[in-house]
Every structure is written in C-alpha cells, then in structure tokens.
Amino acid sequence: MSNVCKLAMVDDQGIILINKDSDISSAAVVAQVRRLLGMKRVGHCGTLDPFATGVLPVVFGRATAAVPYMSEYDKEYRCRIQLGSSTDTMDREGEIIAQVAEDFDASKLEDCSYIEQLLNSFLGEIKQQAPLYSAVKVAGKPLYKYARQGEEVERPWRTVTVHAIKLLDIYHREGFELPCLDVLFSTSKGTYIRSLADSIGEKLGCYAHAAELERTACGPFALDQAVKTTDLFDRFEKLERDSKVFLSTIIDEGIVKATLSAFAGFPTQAVGLSDAVKLTHGQEIRILPDNISVDTITFTYNSILLAVAGVNRGLAKVKRVFIDSSAEFLREGSIDEDM
C-alpha cells in the first residue's frame, strides 16, 4: 500500500468484508474475527441467516460506532426460490408444512414473462410480518425461541421497500419436480428475503421456499471485495498467529477498509489541524457557508475520518467521534490539510 493510502488508515479500527459461508451464524463470524485480531471490540452490520452466504461487514475498534449508520444500508440479494413446497422457516432448513397439489398446472412456471410480471408485483413498499424463526424480539425474547418452545406470540409487522427485482434464470434442481427461480433483489434495510420467497410461492399458487440466499451487496460494499474467513485464518497461521502482524498485513493488502468508506455518499468536509483537535474532543466547530444545514456530515483530517456531525446554520455539532484526541497524526507538526 502506498504512503498516501496509509494516511487514510489507522491501525486500531476498520472494516473487514467477510464473504460468509453457509451454516455459520453472523455472531460466530464476529467471534472468529475477534480471535484473529485479538480484540474485544468487534461487531457486524446486518445479520445474515446461518444458511445464507455473502457480504457481511465486520467492524472493529472505533469503527463499531459506524454500525448505526451502516444499518440503514440498502441491500442486494441473490435468491434461489424453490417452487413446490413451503417450510416453517421459509428456507431449506425448515420442516415442510405445505406442498403443491398433484394436479397443479406447472406449465406457466416456465414462462419468463409470466414470472417476471408476478415478481414485479412485489416492487415498491410492502408490509412484511417477521418470520416465526427470526431474531426479532418480542418482550425481550427472540421469536425463534418462542417457536422452538411451541409458544404462540404476535409477530410484528414492518414496512420495507423492494427497489428492483430481476429474474436471472428458471431451472430445475435434482430431486424437485417444479422449477427453481434464480432472482436478484434490491431492497431496503430489514427486508426478509425468505418471506418474499414464501409470498411469491403463495401468489403463484404452488408454495415456495428459499433454497439458497446470497447477499451480493451491502450499501457501498460488494461481494467481489469480500474475503473468506478460511483465507484469513490461512494468513494468520503463516504469520505464527501474531494478531498485530496479521492486522498490519491485511491493512497493507487492502483487506481492511477505512472507516470512512462506511460513509460513502454522505457529505464530507476536510478540516485543518485546530478544528480536527476540537472535533476529536466532541467540540462544536463553525464551517462555511454560515447558512449550511445538513443532518449528517463526515469530517476528515489527512483523509482520515474524525467525526460525524449534524450541521445547523454552519455550526457543526458532533454525534460520533472516531479518533482519539491523542492520536499521533494530530500532533503539532503533522501535515495540515487546511481546506
């Protein structure tokens, strides 16, 4: 990594984009990264079901303060929807609770135009009820625990937005009579793709469940930027399980993304040294023009994220601080990015 790129990084925080494997929970992935980094302050953005794969942003150090903002990201998913049966979990992991009738006319399921028209009926704002098997809490208890204990509970509803749907393929999987739909979804936060698969099957009149689910994008982060934890552990072993050397190595290799990258698309303003120090102390600063007002803006010094603030009539009030005021690059004599 060049010296310029290193200026945009600090070695005690950042984002690692994990390409999550199937059959592991998001929490377990966090535990793996915590072990690799030798840090306690590690979290993730946007839980993926254990059976699902794909982009899982894992944050560490002060980058964990970005999670509330990252949780607002739109997402993109590729889902293989198996027609013909529904399950209690709405995915391949559950027990079959309904199957298509033997006399069902399946010929229309091979018609791309018909399928596309039906899929497009789910575009826009829709209401979804939280799946019975989900981590959504009711009275402080996850729904899946109620389900496992056979308890009845009212599941909450939420309004979500489906921005785009693209039918990629209609194909047949071994062992299934009805076809499988390969579909790409672009959605708002909080959308349950399993629920969409179930609803699509219901609307087709043949039942359905999510056979495979892959998150292909999470906000500004795409699947081609993500790395497998097995690859990370391979590096870790070669570096004699030294967490500090490991972190330095993956920073140099570009695997760790700067915390600032979490705020792609937000207004950003670079400041000089004096304002930079004030921001890291959580103090207000004045910016020009005096009449500017914005809900969320990021401030940087030497391209490193300092703080997130709200601005009202040119006065910036800090919401989150990402750099300690004692950081070496903030000392007098540092390169001053006075803009």
Q: Are residues 154 and 93 in the same domain?
A: yes
Q: Are residues 107 and 152 in the same domain?
A: yes
Contact partners, residue 324, CB within 8 Å, separation at least 6: 62, 280
Residues 93 and 208 in one domain: yes
Residue 253 lies in a domain: yes
Residues 228, 201, single domain; the answer is: no
- Please indicate, yes or no, whether residues 80 and 214 belong to a single structural domain of this protein: yes
Buried b (16+ CB within 10 A) or exposed e, 83-92: bbbbbbbbbb
pLDDT of residue 289: 82
Whether residues 50 and 80 share a domain: the answer is no
| DSSP labels, 75-107 | EEEEEEEEETEEETTSBTTS-EEEE--TT---G
Active site residues: 49
What is the C-alpha to C-alpha distance for residues 78 and 93, in angstroms, rounded to an integer? 17
Residue 125 structural domain: 75-218
CATH number, position 305? 2.30.130.10
Please report whether residue 336 resides in a domain: no
pLDDT of residue 338: 41
Q: Given the DSSP bridges, would you call strands 294-301 and 268-270 parallel, antiparallel or unpaired?
A: parallel
Amino acid 281: pLDDT: 95
Distances (CA, A) of 15 to 32, 74, 128, 190, 295: 14, 18, 30, 21, 24
Tell me which amino acid residue 96 is: I
Do residues 79 and 201 share a domain? yes
**Does residue 90 fall inside a structural domain?**
yes
Angstrom CA distances, 94 to 26, 56, 115, 133, 134, stand at 19, 23, 25, 9, 12
Q: Are residues 116 and 45 both part of a single domain?
A: no
Looking at beta carbons, which pairs linking 308-316 to residues 24 or more positions away fall under 8 Å? 308/69, 308/263, 309/279, 311/287, 314/286, 314/287, 314/288, 314/289, 314/290, 315/284, 315/285, 315/286, 315/287, 316/279, 316/284, 316/285, 316/286, 316/287
The CATH number of the domain holding residue 37 is 3.30.70
Please check whether residue 38 is in contact with residue 31, taking contact to mean a CB–CB distance below 8 angstroms: no
User: Which of these three, 245, 260, 275, is where a domain ends?
Assistant: 260
Q: What is the pLDDT of residue 245?
A: 97
| Same domain membership, residue 175 and residue 164 | yes
Q: Is 140 left (phi over 0), alpha (psi -120 to 50) or beta?
A: left
Instruction: Assign residue 156 the CATH number of its domain.
Output: 3.30.2350.10
Is 337 a member of any domain?
no
The predicted pLDDT at position 277 comes to 94
Please state the φ and ψ torsions of residue 62, each to the nearest 5 degrees.
Answer: -65, -10
Same domain for 206 and 79, yes or no, is: yes
Q: Any idea what DSSP says for residue 289?
A: S
pLDDT on residue 5: 40
Do residues 304 and 329 lie in contact, with contact meaning Cβ atoms separated by under 8 Å? yes
The verdict on 156 and 189 lying in the same domain is yes
* 247 and 183 within one domain: no
Of the candidates 231, 260, 289, which is a domain's last residue?
260
- Which tokens is 133 given? 């098997």
Interatomic CA distance for residues 41 and 124, integer angstroms: 37
Going residue by residue through the chain, which has 339 residues, state the pLDDT in tens, using 9 for 90 and above: 333 344 367 778 999 999 999 999 999 999 999 999 999 999 999 889 999 999 999 999 999 999 999 999 999 999 999 999 999 999 999 999 999 998 999 999 999 999 999 999 999 999 998 777 777 788 778 877 887 887 878 888 899 999 999 999 999 999 899 999 999 999 999 999 999 999 999 999 999 999 999 999 999 999 999 999 999 999 999 999 999 999 999 999 999 999 999 999 999 999 999 999 999 999 999 988 888 889 999 999 999 999 999 999 999 999 999 999 888 888 754 544 443
The answer to whether residue 338 is domain-embedded is no
Q: Are 314 and 320 in contact (CB under 8 A)?
A: no
Predicted confidence at residue 28, as pLDDT, reads 97
95 part of a folded domain: yes
User: In total, how many domains does the chain have?
Assistant: 3
